[in-house]
Chains A and B, each alone.
Chain A
Amino acid sequence: MTTLLREHAEQQYADELQALAAHDERQRPPRWRLSPWAVATYLLGGQLPDGTTITPKYIGSRRLIETAIATLATDRGLLLIGLPGTAKSWVAEHLAAAVSGDSTMLVQGTAGTSEESIRYGWNYARLLADGPSAAAIVASPLMRAMQEGKIARVEELTRIPAEVQDSLITILSEKTLPIPELGSEVQAVKGFNLIATANDRDRGVNELSSALKRRFNTVVLPLPDSLEQEVEIVQQRVTSLGRALELPGEPPALEEIRRIVTIFRELRAGMTADSRTSLKSPSGTLSTAEAISVVNSGMALAAHFGDGALRAGDVAAVLVGAVIKDPVQDRVAWLEYLETVVKEREGWKDLYRACRELA
């Protein structure tokens, strides 16, 4: 077992990628490690002729993933948009791993991301000693991806200041990165493309300029369609995270996960699952990722301070914190939900009582 806290996608799933490549006889776009069909199988899961099982990396709409792959094949940039916790970065990482076999060409967008980290910087010692030269340039991951014909990733594009965002425009439309200091440029090699992720819900984001938007094809990653699907995602991630973090205690009962996911889905949708009662939605996003973290924290509580099994009390403490982000509006929404739904529901009495105590 590795001592790394977290492996890259291409390390963790190296076997699957190798098996896919071995069986892939379809046409591959230039410098793609796999054909578009094999990339789709890698993301969505499947079975190879030799019996190798490819685990699904993304549980959800096949059509969206196909649109994303087709976009990468048409040399247009791919912009993944979605609420926080809808697996944008996850999908981007796996797409890069499957297409280029390398998911490390990554620029993390922050409020402090500068133009140098998108284009190139200078090795100042070299610059002072020898003057501007190709050797004095420190290439950004994006520049390296262009030179090597790989997929580059820009995470959280909307957190980058607008004027820095716009330095991507030339790269996307002309597929070149001019270096005026040397009077030269880096022209992208076939196989280069860009995947950016963005979310439009968080505070403190910079709207994308329409010039930049125009250069991307957009794929919106939705929240999971059905309760079953979401329970499956939460359970899969909770189990693998629990193993990675070496949490003591029993794995949570499916019923408890189902209950948490149900609460998240109902509040998010503003409607009970039987669509009889409508509800107010809290201001938070209540993403699947948050549901996963509620289960995880609940398990940690149960393991260290409880009796080891995930009980309503452990869940309630974490749940209230996850739902109520705005002390006034969300509290009203949560109380209404408690009184009109949780209270009446068969077998939820324990949860109601535990939540009532906290409220």
Chain B
Amino acid sequence: MAPATHHIFGIRHHGPGSARSVRRALTALAPDLVLVEGPPEADAILSLLAHPELEPPIALLIYATERPDQAVFYPFARFSPEFQAITYALLHQIPVRCMDLPQFHQFALEKTGEAHSLADVSPILAPANDPLGALAHAAGYSDGERWWEELVEQRRDDAAIFSAVLEAMSALREDQPTPTDPHEAYREAWMRRTLRQAHREGFQRIAVVCGAWHAPALVSLDGARADDMLLKGLPKVKTAATLAPWTYGRLTFASGYGAGIASPGWYDHLWAMGEAAHDATAVTIQWMTRVAWLLRHHDLDASSAHVIEAVRLAEALAALREHPVPGLSELEEAARAVFCTGSDAPMRLIHQQLIVGERIGSIPDETPLVPLQQDLRQQQRRLRMKPTAERRLVELDLRKANHREQSALVRQLNLLGLAWAEPGEVTSTGTFRETWWLQWQPAFDVALIEAAIWGTTVRGAATARTLDRAGKSDVLSDLVSIVNKALFADLPDAISPLMDLLQRRATHTGDTGELMDALTSEDGQTRSSLVNSLRYGSVRELDTSLIAIVVDGMVTRICIGLSNVCTNVNDEAAATMSRRIAATNAAIGLLGQSAQREQWLTALAQLVHASHIHGLLAGQACRLLLDAERLSNDAAARFLSQALSSAQPPTAAAAWIEGLLQGSGMFIVHDEQLWHLIDTWLGTLTDESFQTIVPLLRRTFATFTRHERHLLGERIKQAPGARPLEASSQLDHTRAAAALARVQLIVTRR
């Protein structure tokens, strides 16, 4: 019998070429044990990877059971060599194990060092872990995968490939056979230990699939004692493993993971090409054809002639750059030059749908609980909020810490699309009380699994999803509503990026009215406006300093743009604008910042002075300035006189008065000058114009309180020349009787 050996396959993580070579090498070797670089905690769930319902991309998810936010994802696409090795073993019923340093040690080690969050790099994706890519670059290839293809192309013998890789890596690591980073040393020691164990168990042909960089460290298994010493006494925490669905988008750099691959869709294409991936022209032609199909599908011009030209240009570019075959960058640039004719949109489409790809994985039902579910259960226990199927009402007093957390939790779940709680009636006007109807539905568990993609804790997931939604909303008021929800749901990590977004949107909106709405309109769910949140946020202990900056910028922009949006508007728009001005005025009063008030009053003064401003708005501005004691009564009288002068059409004048007297008319009772002006103006009107403006004036005066109207009446009586209305002596008794009957009906009903 031949002596037991292990065969090392040094691979490129997420490299389709490596995956193909590994698959072929495994078939040739027919091993009796497969070891892959991965967390041993996942051993128990590896069998799920061959489940018929499983569809890559997926991620192995290892998390600390005590602290679900301490978690690490090992994403696998179908072109990942590890995934291919594992499924090969499962298919052939060969035992398969993970051999990396277990996360129960890694988490514990990290705990002593820096904090580990979701956004951290999972070890498998660390950028320094692509030594093959580095070699490819050194060899003049723009793309590590194309280099691998050439390598395979030149030597069909896969075993030779892997020994070449091993040789190259040994040369690369010549300077540091043992890693200087202690963490790396632990990992490699653990891998060797796993290998020794496998030998002891009597396995004869062991296949080892690991990142190329580690290959040289696993050749010799000497030094067992040193490894054991190194690994002795490592700290430990409790961990659990599960699967989560993944997307190609999240495999990329842009997804927030510190590292990743830039072009999962391109790798997927290379994988799907199968053996034909060795033929450079075939790859280019297929790719360009897919580009053309995609563009055609979106009604963009893309003919076969385009494909031909794009292929030619890609090859010419590769030749000019002295690359043997066109890499992804050549394909991209050729596609840009031939298909896009100067527009960026098709290229974005190509990038999103082909280069990155939109494939979403799915996982079987038997998958263990995701940490998000566990986190929610933990919080429900801690806050004593039992999920029940019956509908019940809870009242929260936000001055209590526990209640505040309950409110935040249900709001976070709402943001995740789990409507466990619906807001109840508003019982009092106080800002510290709220009521919720709670009802748990079984469908929520499914929703939680789907939400697992956003994170491992309710708060983290709610933050991620909120930011995603905010990025997609292009209406300013929607964004404001999201901001309010995030504030109330206590998502501190979301606030800063949300504010950046809000600021950007606020800048780019050309519509000052929209800005005013954004500042003052109340969100349906939180019943709070941006200004309210800023002013009363302290009840919830919100950090509002960032909002203050953004609100400040919005106020400045409103003040600069105000006179533009009030110029040359029709009656309907003026009415809307008038409501906005009133709301903004109230908001600025609420904010109580003298600098903002100053800006605002200056902007209002412009409205009074400028021409072509709608009368309603000019009058309103005049009134607000009067109230703010920015305008003397004399000055106001001058403006009123201008507005009522005969050059102005009577309807404009009436609108001006409506603006001036909005809400209350008390002050004209006491100001002789203003009173006289209005009185004279009414006197000069012709019958016809009086008829036209009566409804307008009525609308104004009808808003006054009874008491005010009474005072106004009194004032009119005292006026010189006033005479009481003369009752007509000829009463029509029949008509009066009908009216009297109705009056009696009303009186008795009450």
By a beta-carbon cutoff of 8 Å, the part of chain A in contact with chain B is 36-37, 40, 63, 66-67, 69-71, 73-74, 76, 79, 81, 198, 200, 208, 210, 213-214, 216-220, 270-271, 277-280, 328-329, 332, 335-336, 339-340
Q: In the assembly, what is the distance between CA of A79 and CA of B340, in Å?
A: 12
Q: In the assembly, what is the distance between CA of A329 and CA of B511, in Å?
A: 11
Among residues of A, the one whose C-beta sits closest to the C-beta of B502 is A278
Q: In the assembly, what is the distance between CA of A37 and CA of B333, in Å?
A: 18
From residue B323, how far is it (CB to closest CB) to chain A in Å?
11
Chain B residues with CB under 8 A of A79: 341-342
Q: CB distance B557 to A336 under 8 Å?
A: yes
Q: In the assembly, what is the distance between CA of A38 and CA of B432, in Å?
A: 74
From residue A353, how far is it (CB to closest CB) to chain B in Å?
19
Q: CB distance B560 to A218 under 8 Å?
A: no
With contacts A66-B321, A270-B508, A336-B556 taken as known, whether A73 is within 8 angstroms of B305 at the C-beta atoms is no
Judge whether B423 is part of the interface by a CB distance below 8 angstroms: no
Judge whether B294 is part of the interface by a CB distance below 8 angstroms: no
Interface centre among B301, B504, B506 (most CB of A within 10 A): B504
From residue A165, how far is it (CB to closest CB) to chain B in Å?
14
Q: CB distance B564 to A328 under 8 Å?
A: yes
Q: CB distance A277 to B553 under 8 Å?
A: yes
Judge whether B722 is part of the interface by a CB distance below 8 angstroms: no
The one of B309, B336, B338, B507 in contact with A279, judged by C-beta atoms closer than 8 angstroms, is B507
With contacts A218-B340, A278-B508, A329-B510 taken as known, whether A74 is within 8 angstroms of B301 at the C-beta atoms is no
Q: CB distance A67 to B556 under 8 Å?
A: no
Chain A residues with CB under 8 A of B506: 278
Q: CB distance B507 to A67 under 8 Å?
A: no
Chain A residues with CB under 8 A of B334: 67
Given A74-B316, A217-B337, A280-B507, 17 other A-B residues pairs in contact with their CB atoms under 8 A: A40-B320, A63-B333, A67-B313, A67-B317, A67-B337, A70-B313, A70-B317, A76-B312, A198-B342, A200-B342, A270-B508, A277-B503, A279-B507, A280-B510, A335-B560, A339-B560, A340-B556
Judge whether B361 is part of the interface by a CB distance below 8 angstroms: no
From residue A169, how far is it (CB to closest CB) to chain B in Å?
13
Q: CB distance A63 to B329 under 8 Å?
A: yes
Q: In the assembly, what is the distance between CA of A300 and CA of B186, in Å?
A: 69
From residue B142, how far is it (CB to closest CB) to chain A in Å?
10
Among residues of A, the one whose C-beta sits closest to the C-beta of B318 is A70
Q: In the assembly, what is the distance between CA of A213 and CA of B320, in Å?
A: 24
Chain A residues with CB under 8 A of B303: 214
Chain B residues with CB under 8 A of A339: 556, 560
Chain A residues with CB under 8 A of B306: 214
| CB-defined A-B contacts under 8 Å, sample of 6 | A200-B342, A213-B341, A218-B338, A280-B508, A280-B510, A340-B553
Q: In the assembly, what is the distance between CA of A41 and CA of B342, in Å?
A: 25
From residue A115, how far is it (CB to closest CB) to chain B in Å?
24
Chain A residues with CB under 8 A of B312: 74, 76
Q: CB distance A214 to B305 under 8 Å?
A: yes
Among residues of A, the one whose C-beta sits closest to the C-beta of B306 is A214
Chain B residues with CB under 8 A of A67: 313, 317, 333-334, 336-337
From residue A35, how far is it (CB to closest CB) to chain B in Å?
10
Q: In the assembly, what is the distance between CA of A336 and CA of B489, in Å?
A: 33
Q: In the assembly, what is the distance between CA of A220 and CA of B347, in Å?
A: 12
Q: CB distance B337 to A73 under 8 Å?
A: no
Q: CB distance A73 to B508 under 8 Å?
A: no
Among residues of B, the one whose C-beta sits closest to the C-beta of A73 is B316
B contact patch SS: helix
Chain B residues with CB under 8 A of A279: 507
8 nearest A-B residue pairs (beta carbon): A81-B342, A278-B507, A70-B316, A217-B337, A278-B504, A70-B317, A213-B341, A218-B341
Q: In the assembly, what is the distance between CA of A67 and CA of B317, in Å?
A: 6
Q: In the assembly, what is the distance between CA of A277 and CA of B552, in Å?
A: 12
Chain B residues with CB under 8 A of A63: 329, 333
Judge whether B561 is part of the interface by a CB distance below 8 angstroms: yes
Q: CB distance B507 to A220 under 8 Å?
A: no
Among residues of A, the one whose C-beta sits closest to the C-beta of B503 is A278
B615-652 residues with Cβ-Cβ distance < 8 A to A are: none
Chain A residues with CB under 8 A of B319: 70
Chain B residues with CB under 8 A of A208: 341
B647-691 residues with Cβ-Cβ distance < 8 A to A are: none
Among residues of B, the one whose C-beta sits closest to the C-beta of A68 is B337
Q: CB distance B337 to A219 under 8 Å?
A: yes
Chain A residues with CB under 8 A of B503: 277-278
Q: CB distance A37 to B320 under 8 Å?
A: yes
Q: In the assembly, what is the distance between CA of A213 and CA of B553, in Å?
A: 44
Q: In the assembly, what is the distance between CA of A278 and CA of B476, in Å?
A: 15
Q: In the assembly, what is the distance between CA of A73 and CA of B504, in Å?
A: 44
Chain A residues with CB under 8 A of B309: 74, 76, 217
Can you list, as one digit per residue, whether each of B418-456 has a CB less than 8 Å from chain A (1) or not (0)? Answer: 000000000000000000000000000000000000000
From residue A79, how far is it (CB to closest CB) to chain B in Å?
8
From residue A276, how far is it (CB to closest CB) to chain B in Å?
8
From residue B348, how far is it (CB to closest CB) to chain A in Å?
13
Chain B residues with CB under 8 A of A37: 320
Chain B residues with CB under 8 A of A329: 510
Q: In the assembly, what is the distance between CA of A340 and CA of B507, in Å?
A: 11
From residue A104, how far is it (CB to closest CB) to chain B in Å?
26
Can you list, as one digit per residue, whether each of B252-278 has a CB less than 8 Å from chain A (1) or not (0)? Answer: 000000000000000000000000000
Can you list, as one digit per residue, whether each of B560-571 has a CB less than 8 Å from chain A (1) or not (0)? Answer: 110010000000
Q: In the assembly, what is the distance between CA of A271 and CA of B510, in Å?
A: 16
Chain B residues with CB under 8 A of A336: 507, 556-557, 560
Q: In the assembly, what is the distance between CA of A40 and CA of B320, in Å?
A: 9
Among residues of B, the one whose C-beta sits closest to the C-beta of A64 is B333
Chain A residues with CB under 8 A of B329: 63
From residue A164, how far is it (CB to closest CB) to chain B in Å?
19
From residue B606, how far is it (CB to closest CB) to chain A in Å?
13
Among residues of B, the one whose C-beta sits closest to the C-beta of A80 is B342
